[in-house]
Every structure is written in C-alpha cells, then in structure tokens.
C-alpha cells in the first residue's frame, strides 16, 4: 500500500485509541477497576517492515520504534494504561494489532509475565 506520513500518523493514533478503550473496558469489566492479578507487559509488533524503507521511516517518525532483538517495529504498552495487570495490557495490545491488520499491516500482540 502507498501510505503518506499523515496516513501512518492516523493509523498509529487509531491503534493507540483502540488499545486504550479495550484496556479500559477489560479493567472495568474483569478487574472492577482495581489493579491485581498477574503482573506483566504487552506490546504490538509490526512485522515485515525494514527500517531503511520509506514505510519504516514513516513508522519511526510516528513514534513506532524498532525492537533491538528481533528488528520488528513495536509499540510497547500501546494502551498506555497505568496498571501492572498483564491481561489489561494484553487486551490493549490485541486491539492495536487488529487496527494495524485492518490497515494492511502484518501485526501481532505479544506479552510476558513479570
């Protein structure tokens, strides 16, 4: 696909907004607004984009950074939700990945326990 920087900025903003909404809904529905359960981290990976390409430079300009160990573009805690609960963060990462996939990217959510 042929994206502009405005397109990429908009997609990243849409992914972050979807992630925040999904994390908030999970936190309210399943944790009753109280942080608890397993602690951990979650992120969304955007696969198959080289940093030296036009698309890679646009993702970088939109604040999406390259992960140093597997070279994927990654947004750490895309929801920005200030909890330790891994399930809340995972809900946000899944929602962000769905937005990227809907816009033609190969994306996946990841998480790990702390």
Tens of pLDDT, residue by residue, the chain (114 residues):
799 999 999 999 999 999 999 999 999 999 999 999 999 999 999 999 999 999 999 999 999 999 878 889 999 999 999 999 999 999 999 999 999 999 999 999 999 998
CB atoms within 10 A of CB 1: 7
Contacts by 12-16, CB closer than 8 A, 24 or more apart:
12/59, 12/62, 12/63, 12/64, 12/75, 14/99, 15/44, 15/75, 15/78, 15/95, 15/96, 15/99, 15/100, 16/75, 16/78, 16/79, 16/80, 16/96
End-to-end, the C-alpha distance of the chain in Å comes to 37
pLDDT, position 1: 74
pLDDT, position 67: 86
């Amino acid at each position: 696909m042929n994206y502009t920087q405005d397109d990429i900025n908009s997609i990243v903003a849409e992914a972050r907004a979807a992630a925040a909404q999904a994390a908030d809904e999970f936190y309210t529905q399943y944790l009753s607004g109280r942080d608890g359960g397993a602690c951990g981290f979650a992120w969304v990976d955007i696969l198959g984009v080289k940093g030296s390409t036009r698309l890679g430079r646009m993702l970088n300009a939109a604040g999406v950074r390259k992960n140093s160990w597997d070279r994927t573009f990654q947004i750490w805690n895309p929801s920005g939700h200030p909890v330790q609960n891994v399930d809340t963060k995972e809900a946000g990462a899944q929602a962000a990945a769905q937005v990227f996939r809907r816009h033609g990217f190969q994306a996946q959510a990841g998480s790990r326990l702390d």
